[in-house]
Amino acid sequence: MEMIKLPSGTEVPKVLYVATMQTLRSLCEKKVMVFCDLVMMCRDQSYEAFGDNAIDLKKVNVLESNGRPHKSIRQIVEAVVKGNGLNMHIKPLGV
């Protein structure tokens, strides 16, 4: 299985990286507040999604059954999303 090395040194499957990037781009373009909630959930383990945003995140399969992002997804999000609040943007890795 082909792996991608994140800036933290952690390796994740390339297929997971690509799928996560597609999901992030889609959320960023179509559902900005859901995107922001995902990023905040990845950055802060105590953060809770606003309103029905957790439902949207479950629909795109980025949350586990416990309602939290999987460790690998969290690591990818932390590696590629820069900025804070509505100034967050995606900066893909050079893969």
CA 35 to CA 15: how far, in whole Å?
20
Radius of gyration of the chain (CA): 12
**Which segments within the chain are labelled E, that is strand?**
3-5, 11-13, 81-82, 89-90
CA distances from 19 to 11, 16, 24, 73, 77 (A): 15, 5, 9, 10, 12
> Could you tell me the pTM of the whole model?
0.92
CB 60 within 8 A of CB 53: no
Q: pLDDT tens-digit profile of 10-65?
A: 999 999 999 999 999 999 999 999 999 999 999 999 999 999 999 999 999 999 99
User: What confidence score (pLDDT) does residue 44 get?
Assistant: 96
User: What confidence score (pLDDT) does residue 4 get?
Assistant: 94
